[in-house]
Structure 1
């Protein structure tokens, strides 16, 4: 999978990220999204806030040098380290998300790492499990991307015991 790489997110990536995050099918899969994915002002404000937060790490995922999505990590209000990824639909089904998450995890020293996923998103569940994450709990919450309550699973990647 040497054709998948991560690079720092920069201002020039904003248009591609915004368009990717407006894909209706991807929004339905992610479920827990922005209230209004087409609100560019809210998107830009969120991007500025994230880029200025030292606890947030964001990367662009590239496939053979072209834009394929984003991955990132941040520290939650509870002090946990959580990861996220959003892969552009044109890159689905080829292992891009699995490799991008593997690369992100290799840059994160903190364990456990956490991730959240809508349980109906079996592709994303598989990505987490291939990277060693295990489900630790489930809850139901309102998902803006679906406009209704849906089930979400919390996954953890715990330290390996030697």
Structure 2
């Protein structure tokens, strides 16, 4: 497996992140995305808000030093939540699993939460490999696919002492 690292997001990464997040197959899998993935002005405004928020820690995932995706930890209603998005060229090689393991090792707060579209079986498998378990399912409108989609909420609980 290739060497995977997390590093801070730089301005030079923004074009790669935008292109990754507008890939039609990726948008279909993620579902809960921007309503218009091709709107660069909306992307720029969103990423500026994310980068400027104290509640968000955003990383670039690299594979052998090259761009392979993004990973982040953020706060929603007082809960810490993780997210990751891996570029299609890096799929099916363990990049997501390695990146998520690095991310959760950096985040001390537990429980830690994650959400994914129920149909995104790859993301569900990665989350489960990393110790997340399903908490609940809800159905809501997913802007990226313009329809109702089932979303899975998962959690990573604190390790038991002596485990």
What band does the TM-score fall into relative to the shorter chain?
over 0.9
Q: What TM-score do you get using the length of structure 1 for normalisation?
A: 0.97
Residues 35 and 146 in structure 2, CA contact (< 8 A), matched pair in contact too: no
Output the CA distance in 1 between the equivalents of 2:143 and 2:54: 27
Output the CA distance in 2 between the equivalents of 1:19 and 1:50: 17
Query: Which residue does the alignment assign to 2:106?
Result: 107
Query: Which residue does the alignment assign to 1:55?
Result: 55
Distance 1:64 1:124, change over 3 A: same
Give per-residue Cα distances to partners, 1:30-74, cap 9 Å, x unaligned: 000001111101100111111111111000000011100000011
Give per-residue Cα distances to partners, 1:115-158, cap 9 Å, x unaligned: 00101110000000000000000000011122110100000000
RMSD: 0.8
Query: Which residue does the alignment assign to 1:69?
Result: 69
Query: Which residue does the alignment assign to 2:4?
Result: 4
Output the CA distance in 2 between the equivalents of 1:38 and 1:113: 31
Aligned residues, how many?
161
Output the CA distance in 2 between the equivalents of 1:157 and 1:126: 14
Unaligned runs of 5+ in 2: none
Q: What TM-score do you get using the length of structure 2 for normalisation?
A: 0.97
Query: Which residue does the alignment assign to 1:91?
Result: 90
SS at match of 1:43: helix
SS at match of 1:94: coil
Q: CA deviation at 1:2?
A: 6.3
Runs of 4+ in structure 1 off by over 4 angstroms are: none
